Amino acid sequence: MKRLRLVEHSKPFVLYAHVEEQLRAEFVSAAINPGARLPTELELCKRFGVSRSTIRQSLNRLEADGLITRTRGKGTFLRAKSIYKAAVDTVNTTTNNALTLRKVLGLVFCARSDTLQMNILLGVERAAKSRGYGIMFGYSGEDARAEEQEIERLLHIGADGVIVMPVSNTTATPGVQRLIEHKTPTVLVDRYLTDLDTSYVVSDGFGGAYRLTEHLILLGYTSFVYINSGMELLATSSVRDRFRGYCQALEDYGIPVEQCEPLAVRVGDTNSVRELLSRRSNSRTHGLAIVAVHDAVAIALMRTAASIGLKPPEDFAVVGFDDLPVSSHLPVPLTTVMQPRYDIGFKSGHQLIDMIEGREVTDEKLVLPVSMTVRESCGAHRIMRERRMADALHTSERVA
């Protein structure tokens, strides 16, 4: 291979991005054949004239995108079926046989293994494939600086537009701000940034929380609390919208809102949970109803409550948000709201492609409807059964 020496730069990100770009170019041009073993880290250090940490950063990114596989004791290999090869037209050549990249969407998500985010990814992938686009990935790890770097990396290697799930607990991020300033086609998913004017596709958190709260009210509950774990702040649009929906439902039914912000509860701590549940009244039918910011908080609460001998719906009612796969398989299945995650991905993919191609986008701020699934944790089945029994008894008494 031709030796290429890079000059050290004050920003390490730029340096390893150059190494990464060069290796990607060799993958596509078949300078390194699919399945072939790559040079060792030390050999790459000598070739590029950079430190070993820089090489490792480049390889980590290539591995994260699924281009290479690394096996301890054996080495690093280019995948036989490279994701990047699926993102470029290796058979589309110009008259001078030069490879031509096809359009590519960049995706920056918060986590690598989150089930809900994977559903969004599947939707984006479907939209991209249906219109001849490839996709490339990045992950922020809920860090604004990492989000900015991932956006810069994807643009540097050829993304024509970017779909971003912005980091939590903020109203603006430098990475998304940069996209706006450079007029790069951008769509946010799952949450939006209130201080930045962007296109987005999200689910109806307000409407979902309103329906959950209204459902509890109609069941006869009179004492309410909205909780999170202390990690979810109202700066996150999805958290704020859900809390607003909860408050609006209480207001519409004339029930006072006890606090102006979600109550932060250490849902894994028995003392914190015991203190929370002590708020319940003596009447089980009209006891404490808990609206959790999402399923994970509700599930942790139920598990901790079980450890002190309390459970829904006998001792309290609880509802969540997200409809995680585990929510229907709990000892007490959870009443929750299902978000259309696949649709979020599918619609955001088409929206971004329309922006890239200069097509008219009729609705740049999409809010998709959600659906509520009623299970045992809210007490609906027990309460309705008791009501039917009471009605039957009342009817028999009248007949007598």
Q: Is the pLDDT of residue 89 over 50?
A: no
Of 17, 104, 25, the C-alpha closest to 61 is 17
Q: What is the mean pLDDT of residues 335-354?
A: 96
CATH 1.10.10.10 residue spans of the chain: 12-85
pLDDT of amino acid 339: 95
pLDDT of amino acid 397: 52
Main-chain phi, psi angles of 194, to 5 degrees: -65, -25
**What gap in Å lies between CA 200 and CA 186, rounded to an integer?**
8
Write the CB contacts of 1 (distance below 8 Å, at least 6 apart in sequence).
26, 31, 39, 47
- In the chain, what is the straight-line distance between the N-terminal and C-terminal CA atoms, in Å? 98
Q: What angle do CA 246, 302, 320 make, to 5 degrees?
A: 30
Looking at domain 12-85, which of 1.10.10.10, 1.20.120.530, 3.40.50.300, 1.10.3720.10 is its CATH number? 1.10.10.10
| pLDDT level of residue 313 (50, 70, 90 thresholds) | very high
| pLDDT level of residue 169 (50, 70, 90 thresholds) | very high
pLDDT digits (tens, 9 = 90+) for 117-132: 889 999 999 999 889 8
| pLDDT level of residue 94 (50, 70, 90 thresholds) | very low
pLDDT of amino acid 392: 55
Of the candidate ranges 275-289, 291-305, 337-351, 360-374, the one whose mean pLDDT is the lowest: 275-289
3-state helix, strand, coil in the chain (%, to 5): 45, 15, 40
Beta strands in the chain (DSSP E): 68-71, 75-78, 89-93, 99-100, 104-109, 134-139, 161-164, 186-189, 199-203, 223-228, 263-264, 288-292, 317-319, 336-338, 365-368, 371-373
What is the Cβ-side half-sphere exposure of residue 363, based on CA atoms within 13 angstroms? 8
Strand order in the sheet with 317-319: 263-264, 223-228, 288-292, 317-319
**No. of H helices and E strands in the chain?**
13, 16
Please, where are the H alpha helices in 35-114? 41-48, 52-64, 83-86
Q: Is the pLDDT of residue 14 over 70?
A: no
Indicate the burial class of 306 (C-beta count within 10 angstroms; 0-12, 13-18, 19 or more).
middle
Q: Is the pLDDT of residue 96 over 80?
A: no
pLDDT digits (tens, 9 = 90+) for 260-281: 889 999 999 999 999 999 865 4
The tokens describing 40, both together, are: 């060792």
- Go through 191-215 and write b for each residue having 16 or more CB atoms within 10 A of its CB, e for each that does not: bbbeebebbbbbbbbbbbbbbbbbb
**What gap in Å lies between CA 109 and CA 380, rounded to an integer?**
36
pLDDT of amino acid 283: 44
pLDDT of amino acid 242: 97
**What gap in Å lies between CA 121 and CA 117, rounded to an integer?**
6
Query: Is 205-338+372-389 assigned to CATH 3.40.50.2300?
Result: yes
**What gap in Å lies between CA 196 and CA 198, rounded to an integer?**
6
Neighbouring CB atoms inside 10 A of 56's CB total 14
pLDDT digits (tens, 9 = 90+) for 210-260: 999 999 999 999 899 999 999 999 999 999 999 999 999 999 999 988 778
Residue with tokens 């999200």: 202
Neighbouring CB atoms inside 10 A of 342's CB total 16
Q: Is the pLDDT of residue 330 over 60?
A: yes
pLDDT of amino acid 172: 97
Q: What is the percent of the chain where pLDDT is above 90?
A: 56
Range 103-197+342-363: architecture per CATH: 3-Layer(aba) Sandwich (3.40)
Of 335, 333, 240, the C-alpha closest to 293 is 240
Write the CB contacts of 74 (distance below 8 Å, at least 6 apart in sequence).
none
- Angstrom distances, CA of residue 282 to CA of 223, 250, 265, 287, 307: 11, 21, 22, 7, 21
**Mean pLDDT of all residues in the chain?**
84
Grouping H, G, I as helix, E, B as strand and the rest as coil, residue 341 is helix
